[in-house]
């Protein structure tokens, strides 16, 4: 799963290695964090516009990543869907019958996880397939 940040892109070297090793298809998922418009009643039109812009931006981003990985010989299919990252990742992993979910993750203390949780924690707890995590390194954490 990619969110368009350089932080999440730390997973890409591993995606490339895995994609070349298994010679299979990789599904690159981006979840626009703009709520589904149906949830907003009278404000639905405004949210629909925001959602549309977020989806267009996500597709543009994923197409660039797909092109980059394609030049490296990796078969990739982009997917933009959902609005809640952890829930969407788990649902897509199930519907795509994924063999592995790959995520970059921030190092969080126990207190942070207790109050905010994390996408990675929720995915690990709720998916039926293995989850490969690339943790934040100390240089990224302090600077």
pLDDT value for 48:
84
131 falls within a domain: yes
Which CATH number goes with the domain that contains 33? 3.40.50.620
Q: Write out the H or E segment, with its range, that includes residue 85.
A: helix 85-95
63 falls within a domain: yes
125 falls within a domain: yes
Domain count within the chain: 1
CA distance 122 to 48: 27
Instruction: Quick: pLDDT tens for 57-97.
Output: 999 999 999 999 999 999 999 999 998 999 999 999 999 99
pLDDT value for 28:
95
pLDDT value for 109:
55
β pairing state of 25-30 and 101-105? unpaired
pLDDT value for 126:
96
CA distance 30 to 76: 13
Domain, as residue range, for 24? 8-142
3 falls within a domain: no
Q: Which residues lie across from 75 on neighbouring strands?
A: 25
49 falls within a domain: yes
Q: Write out residues in the chain with pLDDT < 70, as ranges.
A: 37, 106-117, 137-143
52 falls within a domain: yes
Q: What is the pTM of this model?
A: 0.82
Rounded to 10°, the helix 119-126/85-95 angle is 30
Q: Kindly provide the b/e burial profile for residues 30-50, where b requires at least 16 CB atoms within 10 angstroms of the residue's own CB.
A: bbbebeebeeeeeeeeebeeb
135 touches 105 (CB < 8 A): yes
pLDDT value for 43:
78
1 falls within a domain: no
Q: Which residues lie across from 25 on neighbouring strands?
A: 75
């Amino acid at each position: 799963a990619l969110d368009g940040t350089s932080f999440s892109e730390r997973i890409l070297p591993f995606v490339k290695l895995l994609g070349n090793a298994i010679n299979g298809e990789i599904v690159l998922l981006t979840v626009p964090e703009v709520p589904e418009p149906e949830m907003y009643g009278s404000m639905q039109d405004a949210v629909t516009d925001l959602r549309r812009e977020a989806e267009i931006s996500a597709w543009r981003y994923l197409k660039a990543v797909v092109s980059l990985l394609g030049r490296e010989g990796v078969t990739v299919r982009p997917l933009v869907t959902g609005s809640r990252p952890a829930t969407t990742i788990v649902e897509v992993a199930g519907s795509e019958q994924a063999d592995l979910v790959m995520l970059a993750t921030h190092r969080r203390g126990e207190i942070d996880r207790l109050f905010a949780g994390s996408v990675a924690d929720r995915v690990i707890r709720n998916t039926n397939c293995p989850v490969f995590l690339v943790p934040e390194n100390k240089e990224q954490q302090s600077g």
